[in-house]
Chain A
Amino acid sequence: MKHTLKKLGSYVLQQPYRLLFIALSTVLSSALILAAPYLIGLALDDYIIPKRYEGLLQLCILMLAMYVLGSIVSWLQHFLLADVSQRTVWSMRRDLFTHLQKLPLSFFVTRKHGDLMSRTTNDMDNVTTTLNQSVISLISSVIMLVGSFTMMLVLNVWLTLVALVVIPLIVFCSKRIAKVTKSQFKHQQKELGALNGFIEETISGQKVVSLFHQEGRMAEQFNASNERLRKVGTKAQIYAGMMGPFMNLLGHTSYLIIAAAGAWLALKDLASVGVIISFLTYSRQFSGPLNELANQYNLIQAGIAGAERVFEVMEAPSEFEERDGSAGGREIGPIAGSVEFCDVGFQYNEDKIALQGITFAAKPGQTVALVGPTGAGKTTIINLLGRFFDPSEGQIRIDGADIGTIDKRSLRRQLGIVLQDAHVFAGTIRDNIRYGRLDASDEEVEEAAKKAHAHEFIVKLPNGYDTELSTEGSNISHGQRQLLTIARAILSEPAMLILDEATSSVDTLAELHIQAAMAELLAGKTSFVIAHRLSTIRGADLILVVDDGRIVEQGTHEELLAREGLYYELHGNQFQEEELTRS
């Protein structure tokens, strides 16, 4: 928590001039606000009680002037504080986003999507709310505390000491309540996470729920989880809510003690009535901010917890910082395209070996096909080639250079990677294709779409290239989404193309067209293809058969068939069927 506050503080401190102005205006406005009870006491003591009324009017006018000035200064202060808190959140958001772009893929793979989402949106919102609402009252509270205390000291030292009697009580009570509340809040956060996870899963899988007619069971599970959240939530909120009434009681107690002590002093003629009345006003101003803070306790708690979770993301190491702290490798120009894997091994975590002893070499311009059962490690090989992960052992070389020494961004600019899940962004079809090369003209976009065999279906859509897509992409089919991602890759004119089951849902007719376009596009360029379809694999210059994290066979289609190994077994089936079809 200390660390979080420190980091948060460093963000706030990024605006020293505004802060300086705030400090000045706060001191000024507090001085003015604090002077008021003093003047009221003065009016009572010197004018009203002795019934001397000459000069009272002047005093009142002086007070009015001070109030006007005080309000102007306080407006300036609020204005600047709003600026500081908004700009703080703005720069935190900016840094969070920028940092997210630099995090390695492993960071996203190992974390639940829902959790990351809630950190970057909900938690960030919590920080905003807390900064907006609580920081202003926090700062003015602290100043009011200090100011009131000073005035109390000036007015009467003994009464001030009496007023301090309650402080240890306040500290003790708030610490106790805070401790219990914190653990209750943790429970609540856990149940909330569970419920939100369930909601996300059920709503995304609504079709399946409906198909199996499990609405009733899902509702039961939801209700149970919802009920658990209600129970812990009620507990946490009640504990947190106790802070307010207790602080209120303590405020009254201190008021009472001061009043009794003041009355005694007045009786003994050790203090004037005016002083005691001013003193009581200050003591209220002293406990007021404390009450305020106590009432905002759960808000502040949520804000700090949110900031903690946001900073956790922001402190995760960037993928562009090498282990030795250097800023990542050298830049490279266009590559020729020879690829070598030398005894490469990789494991995602300690107990699961994903790849072992991967060795192969592809010459520039060759097509390499990766085949094997699902889960064998084909995609992992691709991930290593794009440096989304770095091998645990061995070396990968492109054009003879260890890719570990090449800047990741520079390397990836040379590769065109089409992924299986066919991600589209919210925006028009045109924007989605143009993502491959941002400065491409409309004609170039259409040209790429034609090559990817996507043009035909696009022009049939009511809005053509301007059709808006949603992230879930439910308005076009999965196969069509794959065509768009291929068009995107074609447009980017990569030096090396990597297709990871990029056409799994594309019909074979379209695939045939795409292959023809690709052949032209890739003339002289190296490409990697993961696919199940024999037609896609057959023409490859090098086929790697991957099983259980190893390359068990490699060679051309004919060589591998002749070996009658796993490749023969995997594809014998389709091979026979295709022979049958042909006959």
Chain B
Amino acid sequence: MNDICLLGVLQLLRLMRFLKPYWFAALLAPLFMLLEVAMDLLQPRLMASIVDGGIMAKDLDHVLRTGGVMLGVALVGLVGGACCTIYSTIASQHFGTDLRQELFHKIQSLSIQSIDRVGTGSLITRLTSDIAQIQQIVLMVLRVFARNSFQIIGSVVMVMLISPRLAVIILFMIPLLVLTLVVTTRMTIPLFSKVQEKLDGVNTVMAENLSGIRVIKAFVRADYEEKRFGGTNGGLLRASLKAARIAALNTPLMSIIVNFSIVGALWYGGVLTREGSLPVGDLAAFLTYITQLLMSIVGLGNQLMLVSRGKASADRLNEIMEMPDDKPDALTATAAAAVHSSRYAIQAGRLEFQGVSFSYDGDPEHAVLRDISFTAEPGETIGIVGVNGAGKSTLVSLIPRFYEPSEGEIRLDSRNISEIDPEELHSQVGMVLQQAMLFSGTIRDNISYGKPDATDAEIEAAARAAQAHEFIAKLPDGYDTVVGQRGVNLSGGQKQRLSIARTLLMKPKLVILDDCTSAVDLTTDRRIRQSLDRVMKDSTCLIIGQRIASVEHADRILVIEDGRITAEGTHKELLERSRLYNQIALSQQGA
């Protein structure tokens, strides 16, 4: 259990490197807090002086004079407190901002495979709530935590100054308090991480429920879902209760220790005053400091618990930070491109697969593609046909390097694509994905996504080629129509056409269409193909299609079965040669 606490703190500490540029503010904040605490600590001492020198000695002047000093001290304390707030906020906000930025950049540099593995939902949570949590902890440590720590140290020092003999009492008290704190924290930390786990579970069920709400309604499964949720929610309740009940021990245990010390001080102090070695005012001040000590220690205990609860978040952030950069760094790549692009630019668009195999988990037993070899000459159109799960989409995903082949090589204009600068590769390889993904912004923004400085004429031309101009022109705001989050206000076919236009605008040397007209009606589909032939006649084209009609005019068609190319040829040739091709073609005649 000790290891858990230690590791948690370590994980948090590793993130503290983001505080480094702001070390000055991060240092000033506790220093100002020290000022505030010092002023706070002076108060009971001044009060003692009022009691002893003023009230006991019946000297009103002394009371007023000391009172004036007290007010001054309080004002200085205010300045300290305010400045601490300002600097701690500056430091923690910068920290959170930088951490978020770093993590965002890191995620951008991850391979699609890593992103798939972690899951986009989880990545989003890490970027949002986990970072917020850590940022909150930094702020807390710089302010409240610092305050309590200083108060504890200060109170101890003041108590020593008042009466070293009386201070012996706290020598008994402090080890007892630390022991209690350590024991309860050790007991509760694993319980709290369990709570966090259960909470994540509850939130996952909630999120899943929201995204599948249509299916749940269609199958009338609300009762089932409620039962499922009831289970996880109940688990969370049980875990929380267990943790909270033990945590509830903390405050009473600590107060009993401190209160025993207070009684001890009162009795022993009484003895000391009888000897005349301790003024009554000092005894009162002593009691005040010791009460202060109690509050600070209880506060510190609670905060320590919060800090260790940040462990889960820190773990999740560090996990991403430590993932290997699968994509070459974008910035250096750009610099490199500037040097090489003139010499090595992709000119023709000749694509070559040489003995390419691939499996998602690296296990050749589970290979999705096996020994794929083919060549697409510049300007050629290659159709790819096969049943669901044959490996068509995986095959084309290797070209923009979403995934790396396990074996074999992919060459573009005779260069291995893994040696081509990614910016150049992506500027010459255009791919339209099966599921159209749009961004919020206008239609214009979406079409010109890859080339933000495109002219209106270019945008319209691309839209026309993708058969999108007609419906865009009919919209009240035309190209300036705002697309909602993920394009909620557009139909599936409209989204697909916009994503085709977005790719066409880039005029890539190699165009890949991954079954991207499934929601487009047939007439439009045909028109898109016709305009592709016209607009992209110099480009190499790979077309994956469910419909034979989408590929039959291709120069060559590859038939993929179980990750292998089993036949290759023109439409006519394949009708004679390939059984599967024949079956697919037949199935589409409605026979």
Contacts and interface: CB of A to CB of B under 8 A. Distances in A.
A54 to B, nearest CB: 12
B493 A375 contact: yes
Contacts of B570: none
25 contacts: A40-B287, A43-B270, A44-B280, A47-B270, A67-B260, A93-B233, A120-B210, A196-B128, A205-B439, A208-B437, A208-B499, A211-B430, A213-B422, A213-B450, A237-B93, A238-B86, A241-B88, A295-B144, A375-B494, A415-B218, A457-B389, A532-B518, A533-B588, A535-B589, A570-B523
B115 interface: yes
A544 B570 CA distance: 37
A249 B120 contact: no
A214 B108 CA distance: 10
Interface in B186-219: 199, 202-204, 206-219
B149 interface: no
A172 interface: no
Contacts of B221: 435, 438
Contact of A204 (B259, B437, B488): B437
Contacts of A227: 97
Interface string A396-416: 000000000000010011010
A197 B77 CA distance: 41
Nearest to A200: B124
A221 to B, nearest CB: 10
Given A74-B255, A197-B440, A273-B51, 9 more contacts: A47-B270, A56-B267, A121-B129, A205-B437, A237-B93, A237-B139, A256-B71, A263-B54, A471-B208
Interface in A57-115: 57, 60, 63-64, 67-68, 70-72, 74-75, 78-79, 81-83, 85-87, 89-90, 93-94, 97-98, 100-102, 105, 108-109, 112-114
Interface string B476-512: 0000000001101011111000010010001000000
Interface string B62-103: 011001001101110110111011101110111011001100
Interface stretch (A15-23, A328-336, A501-509): A501-509
A133 B47 CA distance: 33
Contacts of B386: 507
Interface in A176-231: 196-197, 199-219, 222-223, 226-227, 229-230
A499 B202 CA distance: 32
A197 B214 CA distance: 23
Interface stretch (B170-178, B223-231, B349-357): B223-231
A417 B216 CA distance: 11
A183 B162 CA distance: 47
A496 to B, nearest CB: 12
Chain A interface helix/strand/loop/mixed: helix
Contacts of B210: 100, 108, 113, 116-117, 120
A581 B141 CA distance: 74
Contact of A374 (B51, B199, B431, B493): B493
A78 B211 CA distance: 38
B209 A226 contact: no
B440 A57 contact: no
A509 B202 CA distance: 41
A229 B99 CA distance: 13
A248 B64 CA distance: 21
Interface stretch (A146-154, A160-168, A420-428): A420-428
The 10 A-B residue pairs with the shortest CB-CB distance in the complex, in nearest-first order: A245-B81, A374-B493, A82-B244, A479-B388, A241-B85, A78-B248, A212-B450, A535-B590, A101-B222, A252-B74
A233 B584 CA distance: 59
B362 interface: no
Interface string B404-434: 0000000000000000001100110111011
Given A505-B434, A535-B587, A374 B112 contact: no
A241 B89 contact: yes
A51 B276 CA distance: 10
A435 B274 CA distance: 82
B343 interface: no
Interface string B366-406: 10000000000000000000111100010000001010000
A158 interface: no
Interface stretch (A275-283, A337-345, A359-367, A440-448): A275-283
A20 B350 CA distance: 81
Interface stretch (A1-9, A517-525, A572-580): A572-580
A483 interface: yes
B562 to A, nearest CB: 8
A281 B295 CA distance: 13
A60 B519 contact: no
Contacts of B86: 238, 241
A574 B552 CA distance: 12
Contacts of A412: 217-220
B398 to A, nearest CB: 13
A415 B219 CA distance: 8
A115 B474 CA distance: 30
Contacts of A295: 144
Contact of A101 (B81, B203, B216, B486): B216
A492 interface: yes
Nearest to B295: A288
Could you say which of A47, A212, A409, A492 has the most chain B C-beta atoms within 10 Å of its C-beta?
A212
A226 B108 contact: no
Interface string B238-260: 00110011011101110110011
Contact of B94 (A230, A238, A539): A230
A492 B100 CA distance: 46
A206 B120 contact: yes
A66 to B, nearest CB: 9
Contacts of A64: 259-260, 263
Contacts of A263: 50, 54-55, 60, 63
A117 B207 contact: yes
Nearest to A511: B587
B101 A216 contact: no
Contacts of A67: 255-256, 259-260, 263
Could you say which of A70, A75, A94, A480 has the most chain B C-beta atoms within 10 Å of its C-beta?
A75
Nearest to A418: B218
A134 B262 CA distance: 28
A577 to B, nearest CB: 5
Could you say which of A409, A479, A512 has the most chain B C-beta atoms within 10 Å of its C-beta?
A479
B291 interface: yes
B345 interface: no
Interface stretch (B13-21, B534-542, B543-551): B543-551
A510 interface: yes
A325 interface: no
Contact of A249 (B78, B255, B288, B580): B78
B36 A245 contact: yes
